[in-house]
């Protein structure tokens, strides 16, 4: 698999506050370099980087959104919270529909927000439109492997 030249995003560990660079791609979990706690994994992808972003052994939640979309802005905090709460079990990939028309076309996105679940690089679930936080959480959690 090709690797991305995208630099990782720096995040603070929720357990010990150590700043860590979280990679754009990778197949396993991302952990703190100091305390080894699971880190939230949230990246932004586009037409060029999408396939690399969703190539992960863990469940990937793809949020196809747009800046001008009110419902997208309403669920964004819930999506980000899920990346924190399900760190080590979920990767979140945000895709701006306006800047990534190939991703939108390939997934037949006709309404936003569209949320896609990916496992091992393949789509395994889809939710169109904003839903209440509890419903979104339950949908994502139902797709997580039992632990």
- Is 35 annotated as catalytic? no
Classify residue 96: in a domain, yes or no.
yes
Least confident of 17-26, 82-91, 102-111, 124-133: 17-26
| pLDDT tens per residue, range 84-124 | 999 999 999 999 999 999 999 999 999 999 999 999 889 99
- Is 13 annotated as catalytic? no
Classify residue 21: in a domain, yes or no.
no
**Strand residues in the chain grouped as ranges (E):** 9-12, 19-22, 41-45, 59-65, 90-96, 114-119, 122-128
pLDDT of 2 reads: 37
Q: Which residues pair with 61 in a beta bridge?
A: 92, 117
The residue range of the domain holding 110 is 41-143
Contacts of 87 (CB under 8 A, 6+ apart): 14, 37, 38, 39, 40, 41
Considering the candidates 13, 16, 35, 72, report the single residue annotated as catalytic: 72
Number of domains, the chain:
1
Classify residue 110: in a domain, yes or no.
yes
User: What's the CATH code of the domain at 68?
Assistant: 3.40.30.10
């Amino acid at each position: 698999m090709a690797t991305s030249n995208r630099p990782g995003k720096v995040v603070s560990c929720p357990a010990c506050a150590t700043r860590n660079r979280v990679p754009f791609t990778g197949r396993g979990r991302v952990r703190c370099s100091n305390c080894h706690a699971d880190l939230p994994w949230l990246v932004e992808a586009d037409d060029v980087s999408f396939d690399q972003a969703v190539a992960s052994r863990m469940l990937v939640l793809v949020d196809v959104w747009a800046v001008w979309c009110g419902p997208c802005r309403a669920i964004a905090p819930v999506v980000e919270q899920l990346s924190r709460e399900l760190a080590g079990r979920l990767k979140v990939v945000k895709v701006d529909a306006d800047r990534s028309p190939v991703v939108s076309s390939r997934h037949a996105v006709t309404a936003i927000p569209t949320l896609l679940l990916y496992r091992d690089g393949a789509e395994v679930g889809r939710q169109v439109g904003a839903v209440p936080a509890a419903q979104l959480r339950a949908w994502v959690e139902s797709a997580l492997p039992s632990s």
